[in-house]
């Protein structure tokens, strides 16, 4: 391996080689080669049924690939469990962010911090034993703009703020690579803008891979985009390249193609 090749490999935090997933003869993911660079916000997009969610499930080991390899920080993690890759620093937001609705916002972040300490199931301990986590939990809430919500019961929070809490609980595990599955789904314009700004902010010291349908979000914050169609990579590049690619426009068809072109 030349110095240049070694440097290029070091720049990649996540890589897949010939990733395939078949379900009883149906090929949902078909030979996908992904290269996610350190420090990038990288989007996985594509029309409905393109294989984005299946691909995400393969990367985070909720599904085992039929063939192919997954490398994280240069290590083969193809056979690893979801818990193991989370410990290595690759965390999918909902893995630990099924927030507890009847706990306060602060308590939710403390539970996530407990997982990092390996004391998740010490529920018989008194609340006071967790007070040492309060400072770190409040710092995480401040990072996502939720410090004023700390004492609120989570079920009472507005929807967009709950997504910010999910990001805070993900950050509690100190991930090097965050995987976000449609982080702005179902949000109004104001919440979308807020979550976009939040993702941009938390990407400062880490890499992010996200599945996202909202092309305004993709065009606004993503450094690189991979387009999937029928389980295979159709195109890759920055937003300008991808959105003007005739093959991509044809795959999206109709209104989605118009959205793709109009998000600049």
Considering only CA atoms, which of 188, 190, 145 is closest in space to residue 167? 145
The confidence band for 251, taking pLDDT boundaries of 50, 70 and 90, is confident
Q: What is the mean pLDDT of residues 197-223?
A: 94
Considering only CA atoms, which of 262, 82, 234, 96 is closest in space to residue 170? 96
Q: Are residues 204 and 142 in the same domain?
A: no
The confidence band for 39, taking pLDDT boundaries of 50, 70 and 90, is very high
Q: Are residues 194 and 143 in the same domain?
A: no
**Helical residues (DSSP H) of 28-133, grouped into ranges:** 52-59, 82-88, 93-96, 105-117
pLDDT surpassing 80 at residue 4:
no
Q: Are residues 180 and 261 in the same domain?
A: yes
Q: What is the mean pLDDT of residues 202-209?
A: 93
Q: Are residues 80 and 206 in the same domain?
A: yes
Q: Are residues 183 and 169 in the same domain?
A: no
- Residue 122: per-residue pLDDT: 53
pTM of the model: 0.87
Residue where a domain stops, chosen among 174, 209, 235? 174
Confirm if 31 and 232 have CB atoms less than 8 A apart. Answer: yes
Q: Are residues 164 and 190 in the same domain?
A: no
Task: Report the number of distinct structural domains present in the chain.
Answer: 2
pLDDT surpassing 60 at residue 5:
no
Rank 7-21, 59-73, 156-170 by mean pLDDT and report only the highest.
59-73
Name the average pLDDT for the chain.
87
- Between CA 95 and CA 76 the distance in angstroms is 21
- Between CA 175 and CA 90 the distance in angstroms is 6
Q: What is the mean pLDDT of residues 62-89?
A: 94
pLDDT surpassing 90 at residue 72:
yes
Report pLDDT digits (tens) over 133-152.
889 999 999 999 999 999 99
- Within the chain, strands assigned E span 12-23, 26-32, 35-37, 41-45, 67-72, 75-76, 90-92, 177-181, 207-211, 224-229, 232-237
The confidence band for 159, taking pLDDT boundaries of 50, 70 and 90, is confident
Q: Are residues 202 and 255 in the same domain?
A: yes
Q: What is the mean pLDDT of residues 169-185?
A: 92
Q: Are residues 159 and 206 in the same domain?
A: no
pLDDT surpassing 50 at residue 33:
yes
Burial of 127 (0-12, 13-18, 19+ CB in 10 A): exposed
- Between CA 71 and CA 12 the distance in angstroms is 9
- Between CA 177 and CA 208 the distance in angstroms is 6
Q: What are phi and psi of 108, to 5 degrees?
A: -60, -45
CATH number of the CATH domain containing 75: 3.40.50.300
Q: What is the mean pLDDT of residues 14-38?
A: 96
- Residue 131: per-residue pLDDT: 73
Report pLDDT digits (tens) over 224-236.
999 999 999 999 9
Q: What is the mean pLDDT of residues 198-214?
A: 93
Share of the chain above pLDDT 70, in %: 84
Residue where a domain stops, chosen among 174, 190, 222? 174
- Residue 252: per-residue pLDDT: 79
Share of the chain above pLDDT 90, in %: 64
Q: Are residues 163 and 247 in the same domain?
A: no
Residue where a domain stops, chosen among 124, 144, 174? 174
Strand 75-76 with 67-72, pairing: antiparallel
Quote the domain boundaries for residue 220: 1-89+175-264
Q: Are residues 48 and 110 in the same domain?
A: no
pLDDT surpassing 80 at residue 124:
no
Q: Are residues 66 and 191 in the same domain?
A: yes
pLDDT surpassing 70 at residue 1:
no
67 vs 249: which has the higher pLDDT: 67
Q: What is the mean pLDDT of residues 51-74?
A: 94
Q: Are residues 204 and 74 in the same domain?
A: yes
């Amino acid at each position: 391996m030349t110095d240049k090749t070694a440097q290029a490999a070091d720049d990649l935090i996540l890589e897949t080689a010939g990733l395939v997933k078949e379900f009883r003869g149906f090929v949902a993911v078909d030979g996908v080669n992904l290269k996610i660079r350190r420090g990038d916000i990288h989007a996985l997009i594509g029309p409905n049924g393109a294989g984005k969610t299946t691909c995400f499930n393969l990367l985070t080991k909720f599904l085992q690939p039929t063939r192919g390899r997954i490398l994280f920080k240069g290590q083969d993690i193809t056979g690893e469990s979801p818990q193991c890759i989370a410990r290595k620093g690759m965390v999918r937001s909902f893995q630990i962010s099924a927030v507890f609705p009847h706990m306060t916002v602060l308590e939710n972040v403390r539970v996530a911090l407990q997982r990092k300490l390996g004391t998740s199931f010490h529920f018989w301990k008194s609340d006071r034993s967790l007070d040492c986590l309060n400072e770190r939990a409040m710092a995480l809430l401040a990072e996502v703009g939720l410090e004023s919500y700390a004492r609120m019961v989570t079920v009472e929070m507005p929807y967009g703020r709950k997504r910010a809490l999910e990001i805070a609980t993900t950050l509690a595990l100190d991930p090097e690579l965050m995987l976000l599955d449609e982080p702005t789904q179902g949000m109004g314009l104001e919440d979308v803008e807020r979550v976009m700004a939040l993702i941009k902010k938390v990407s400062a010291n880490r890499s992010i891979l996200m599945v996202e349908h909202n092309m305004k979000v993709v065009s606004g914050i993503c450094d690189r985009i991979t387009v999937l169609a029928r389980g295979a990579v159709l195109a890759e590049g920055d937003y300008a390249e991808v959105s003007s690619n005739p093959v991509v426009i044809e795959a999206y068809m109709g209104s989605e193609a118009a959205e793709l072109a109009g998000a600049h």
